[in-house]
Amino acid sequence: MSQPTEAAPVCYRHTDRETWIRCQRCERPICPDCMNSAAVGFQCPSCVKEGAKQTRTGVAPYGGTRSTNPALTSFVLIAMNVAVWVMIQAREHLVDVLSLTPAGRCEAIGGRTFYPGIVSESVCNAQGGASWVAGVANGAPWQIVTSIFAHQQPVHLLLNMMVLYFLGPQLEAILGRSRFLSLYLLSGLTGSVAVMLLSDPHGGTLGASGAGFGLMGALLVVAHKVGADTQQILVWLGINVAFTFFASSYISWQGHLGGLVGGLLISALIVYAPKANRSLVQWSGLGTIAIVSVALIVVRAAALT
């Protein structure tokens, strides 16, 4: 005995017309006469009208103020990264001051030789020709933030800035300036948390890669939210993840993983927050992520002291 077939959906505005097309924004069925091309897929007349209203009032799709120049924040961040790179080129010792080193290390003066058996500043300074590089756990908490903006190799800087250049303006246009900046900085912070928890306590980590992976994760979440094809994003992200682990001898997979997980969580919180009290939910959630991240860093630093 055959099973009854499911009835085809009908357009919500023209109930006599069957259709399998849905609005990318509200997900209601729409017929060809109600389909309006959008940046991704099609939208119904009601959503187009609501979008135009938001544009006129300057409201971003997920709350907050719409950026009049969505590229501005990314350009400022790029300029900051380049400025720090120039400083490091001019004063090479700054790479140790700005990089994230969880527990400090003992290095030979004038070289990059690392003494893994010496984990005390007093013992290191007592050695001839050695100096102590401070870490987060023993007096350099600023490294949690400065490491996100520090690069030593020009190729490393170029690759990270390309990610920011291409993804930053798109995400700021969608999320708004304050939420985009929060995404970038908090993704960098969660990358630093992963480095503190999972990496060699005496190794140094630097670069904006954690924040960059956070932007990749955010792009995936936004594309999924609007019903766009995520296959190309997943392939691109998969290539970067695979390269990270294959080249883990000189790439911080910990920072990349922490930034990606942070970016996924942060962007999901922003775009899936309910419209009722949206801003309250978003900022409370972002604040919680920041507090938990700092708490984990403090606990880990205390354990390494």
Give 159-175 pLDDT, tens digit per residue: 999 999 999 999 999 99
pLDDT at 281: 96
> What single-letter DSSP state applies at residue 69?
S
pLDDT above 50: residue 228: yes
**Full DSSP string of 32-62:** GGG-EE-SSSEE-HHHHHHHHHHHHHTB-TT
Q: What is the mean pLDDT of residues 258-271?
A: 97
pLDDT at 243: 84
pLDDT above 80: residue 8: no
Coil, strand, or helix at residue 108? strand
pLDDT band at 4 (very low <50, low <70, confident <90, very high): low
pLDDT band at 227 (very low <50, low <70, confident <90, very high): confident
pLDDT band at 106 (very low <50, low <70, confident <90, very high): confident
Coil, strand, or helix at residue 141? coil
pLDDT at 224: 92
Beta bridge partners of 100: 205
C-alpha of 131 from chain center: 35
pLDDT at 5: 55
Long-range contacts, stretch 128-133, CB < 8 angstroms, 24+ apart? 130/106, 131/106, 131/107, 132/104, 132/105, 132/106, 132/107, 133/96, 133/101, 133/104, 133/105, 133/106, 133/107, 133/204
Instruction: List the structure tokens of 231.
Output: 């296959």
Q: From the candidates 192, 256, 267, 293, which is the catalytic residue?
A: 256
pLDDT above 50: residue 53: yes
| Catalytic residue check, 202 | no
Q: What is the mean pLDDT of residues 4-14?
A: 77
pLDDT band at 1 (very low <50, low <70, confident <90, very high): very low
Highest average pLDDT, of 53-57, 125-129, 132-136, 159-163, comes from 159-163
User: What residue ranges of the chain are covered by domains with CATH 1.20.1540.10?
Assistant: 72-92+140-304
How far apart CA 56 and CA 157 sit, in angstroms, is 38
Higher pLDDT, 246 or 258: 258
Higher pLDDT, 57 or 53: 53
Domain 72-92+140-304 belongs in CATH node 3.20.20.70:
no
| Catalytic residue check, 120 | no
pLDDT at 289: 98
Q: From the candidates 209, 252, 267, 293, which is the catalytic residue?
A: 209
How far apart CA 152 and CA 88 sit, in angstroms, is 7
pLDDT at 51: 72
How far apart CA 61 and CA 226 sit, in angstroms, is 11
How far apart CA 185 and CA 158 sit, in angstroms, is 19
pLDDT, averaged across the chain: 89
pLDDT at 25: 79
